[in-house]
A and B are shown apart, each in its own frame.
Chain A
Amino acid sequence: MSDPIAELRNASVGYHRGTPVLHDVSLRIEQGESVGLIGETGSGKTTIARTLLGLTKIVGGEVTVGGRDIARLRGRSLRSFRRDGVVQYVFQDPLRSLDPDIPVGDSVAEGLDVRGRIDRRVRSARIDETLRAVGLDPALASRLPGDLSGGQRQRVAIARALILEPRLLILDEPVSALDAANRVHVLDLLRLSSTERSFAKLFISHDLGSVAGVTDRVVVVYHGRIVEDGPTHQVIADPQHPYTRLLIESAPTLDAAGADRARRAQLREVVAQSGP
């Protein structure tokens, strides 16, 4: 078996009001795999992402990305690692993650610009190519984020991440702020681009339903621990942990017969008992 693109081994992250934010978390993401990381607010899912990005320091265990132990990286070595662009991140809110006074083309190319001087034509070509790859007209490169629609901005955010050709793309609630049509477009886009470039994807979400259609594997986080980890269809068909079961029962489905309130209430009790 080849090396994973990213791995957490028994990772723990500090305390927040008495409870560990992450407790003894182990997670492997294989090359080219599509993984969903599901959890509620405060469960630790965002912390896991930030750990993989080197934004949050772990206090125990190891975190490896692209074969490198990133817990050891500091300052210049960390910057150098980031410039290599092995792992990239798409923020949840494209409105706030793009500098409002900078044309989107420059924001997209920022990863290229920090590496040093780059030939103007090459830069332009890369920007155009990447914008096209996410389904945007290259002419939008000169516009400000405020001039674009929400769906377009989200694509710009994805373009910014893809331009560095990462081997792991982490997306934080990529479609929760989008309406139905844009949601489909963006998810289609992500589905398509990975067949061309084959990079691993980590989708972070509180909603199992939104990532179920695009992931091979699903990992469920609850109170800083991983409570479920397995192939998507298997987890949904046969969940092991009561919280996973609650998640599945909670997802609104089109056939209202699937919803059973009594069972949900029961599951909530079980989950509340199992606790952190």
Chain B
Amino acid sequence: MNAPAPLLEIAGLRVSSSSAALVRGVDLSVHRGESVGIVGESGSGKSLTCRAALGIVPSALHVSADRLVFDGQDLATLGERQWRSVRGSRISAVFQDPASYLNPSLTVGRQLAEVLRVKLGRRRAAARRDVVDLLDSLGLRDPARVATRYPHELSGGMLQRVLIALAIVERPDLLIADEPTTALDATVQAEVLDVLADLRRAHGLALLFVSHDLAVVAQVCERIVVMRHGLVVEEGRTADVLAAPSHPYTRSLLEAHREYGLDRLRAPEVVHV
């Protein structure tokens, strides 16, 4: 399953502000077509790690890495102009709050069409058709109607799928998803995760998925990386890590889920609260 060289390779990543070291030496790799999950709480540095791979770490912070390579290309030395040819077409991303990434005064279809025209050179009419097809491929019911809606008229789950559509329009090799379903209802979360899984299968998309929820990551990813306080404390194949966690923090996450998650109900005794 693993290609000889990883698609994304991060080694010794460090991100710090003037007062604190936020990411303190992180190693991470994603192979072509693989799904890797980063689990960690707020403050663990997981989001900053992703931002480093996209070149969007806030300028007030200082970033350094021994290796930050994507498909043989050194990302650390890229200028803003060069980044623009990487983002979207090679590496793409979706984030937590979909509404804030869309222009509220344009319909969703128009924003998608704009990307198709600008980035893929489609003509107007063709772009409109492609938009509907794209939305359809993401499991949105009545995609033609959705395309005519403004962002505030769509639910969180629909918006997130629109953003995923935007992200995969250029068929990138890697999709980075930073807490994409955290703000969504449970049933909607499942839908979006299903959509991501379908996309991965259809396009061989590699996925770097970040969440604070161990169960979500476990469901979506083949490999897990556990982060805490700016460092990787555990990593490995999902099944292995879940079966035999070596780090106490990972164990506490598992315990928490077993204690208060749905799995508990599989156990015979029910706690009276």
Complex: A in contact with B (CB within 8 Å): yes
Question: How far is it, in angstroms, between the C-alpha of A237 and the C-alpha of B266 when the chains are bound?
Answer: 9
B181 nearest CB across to chain A (Å): 9
- Contact in complex: A191, B190 (CB < 8 Å): no
The prevalent SS among residues of A at the interface is helix
* CB <8 Å contact, B271 and A40: no
Interchain CB contact under 8 A, B263 and A206 = no
Of A150, A184, A213, A264, the most chain B CB neighbours within 10 A belong to: A213
Q: Is the interface of B mostly helix, strand, loop or mixed?
A: helix
B219 touches A (CB below 8 Å): yes
B238-260 CB contacts (< 8 Å) to partner A: 238, 242, 252-260
Let me know if B260 and A212 touch, CB within 8 A: yes
Fill in one digit per residue for B206-248: 1 if any A CB lies within 8 Å of its CB, else 0.
0000001111101100000000000000000010001000000
Which residues of the other chain, A, contact B188 by a CB distance below 8 angstroms?
40
The reply to whether A261 and B197 contact each other, CB–CB distance below 8 Å, is yes
Contact of A213 (CB < 8 Å), options: B42, B216, B261: B261
Q: A171 to nearest B CB, angstroms?
A: 12
Contacting residues, chain A, for B193 (C-beta < 8 A)? 252
* Contact A233–B265 (Cβ < 8 Å): yes
User: Is the beta-carbon distance between B252 and A208 smaller than 8 angstroms?
Assistant: no
> Does residue A140 face the partner (Cβ distance < 8 Å to B)?
no
Residue A232 lies at the interface, judged by CB distance under 8 Å to chain B: yes
Q: Which residue of B lies closest to A192 (CB)?
A: B273
Q: Does B170 make an interface contact (CB < 8 A)?
A: no
A34 interfacial by beta-carbon distance below 8 Å = yes
- Chain A 193-228 residues near chain B, CB threshold 8 A: 194, 201, 206-210, 212-216
Contact B263 A253 (CB under 8 A): yes
Write out, one digit per residue, whether chain A residues 164-186 have a CB within 8 A of any chain B CB (1) or not (0): 00000000000000011101100
Which chain B residues in 116-152 approach chain A with CB under 8 Å? none
Contact with B along A227-263 (1 / 0, CB 8 A): 0000011001100000000111111111110010100
Q: Decide if A265 is an interface residue (CB 8 Å cutoff).
A: yes
B71 an interface residue at 8 Å Cβ cutoff? no
User: Contact check: which of B42, B253, B259, B273 meets A190 at CB < 8 Å?
Assistant: B273
- Is B270 an interface residue when CB atoms closer than 8 A count as contact? yes
B194 at the interface (CB under 8 A from A): yes
- CB-based contact B261/A254 at 8 Å: yes
User: Is B187 an interface residue, CB under 8 A from the partner?
Assistant: yes
Number of B residues whose C-beta is below 8 Å from A?
41
B190 to chain A: closest residue by CB: A250
Asked if B264 CB lies within 8 Å of chain A CBs, one says: yes
In whole angstroms, what is the CA distance A252 to B193 when docked? 10
Q: Does A41 contact B (CB under 8 A)?
A: yes
Most B C-beta atoms less than 10 A away, residue of A209, A215, A248? A209
Q: Which residue of the partner chain, among B263, B265, B271, contacts A237 with CB atoms under 8 Å?
A: B265
In the complex, the answer to whether A268 meets B261 with C-beta atoms within 8 Å is no
| Residue among B187, B242, B254, B256 facing the most chain A CB atoms (10 A cut-off) | B187
How distant is B171 from chain A, measured CB to nearest CB, in Å? Answer: 23
| A133 lies within 8 A of chain B by Cβ | no
Q: What is the CA–CA distance of A233 and B186 in the complex, to the nearest angstrom?
A: 19
Q: Mark A133-172, 1 if CB is under 8 A from B, else 0.
A: 0000000000000000010000000000000000000000
A183 to B41, CA, bound (A): 11
Measured between beta carbons, the chain A residues less than 8 angstroms from B216 are 252
| B60 CB–A CB distance under 8 Å | no
Partner of A250 from the list B42, B189, B261 (CB cut-off 8 Å) is: B189
Which of B186, B213, B259 interacts with A184 by CB under 8 Å? B259
CA gap between A218 and B219 in the complex, in Å: 25
Which residue of the partner chain, among A181, A201, A209, A265, contacts B262 with CB atoms under 8 Å? A209
Bound complex: CA A201 to CA B273 (Å): 9
Q: Which residues of the partner chain A approach B212 to less than 8 Å between Cβ atoms? A: 179-180
Known: A212-B264, A237-B265. A254 touches B214 (CB 8 A): yes
The CA-CA distance from A213 to B260 in the complex, in Å, is 5
Q: Produce 1/0 per residue, B31-73, CB < 8 A to A.
A: 0000000000110000000000000000000000000000000
Q: Min CB distance, A216 to chain B, in Å?
A: 6
The closest CB in chain A to the CB of B216 belongs to: A252
Is the beta-carbon distance between B256 and A208 smaller than 8 angstroms? no
Q: Pull 19 A–B residue pairs with CB atoms less than 8 Å apart, ordered by A.
A: A34-B272, A34-B273, A179-B41, A180-B253, A184-B252, A212-B262, A213-B260, A213-B261, A216-B273, A232-B265, A233-B265, A236-B262, A252-B193, A254-B254, A256-B219, A259-B219, A261-B197, A264-B194, A268-B191
Q: Taking beta carbons and an 8 Å cutoff, which residues of B are in contact with A?
A: 41-42, 155-156, 185-191, 193-194, 197, 212-216, 218-219, 238, 242, 252-265, 270-273
Beyond known contacts A184-B255, A250-B189: 17 more, CB 8 A cutoff? A34-B273, A181-B41, A206-B186, A207-B186, A209-B215, A209-B260, A210-B260, A212-B260, A212-B262, A246-B187, A247-B187, A250-B186, A254-B218, A256-B219, A261-B194, A264-B194, A268-B191
Q: Closest 9 interchain pairs by CB?
A: A250-B190, A179-B41, A252-B215, A213-B260, A209-B262, A40-B185, A206-B185, A34-B273, A214-B273
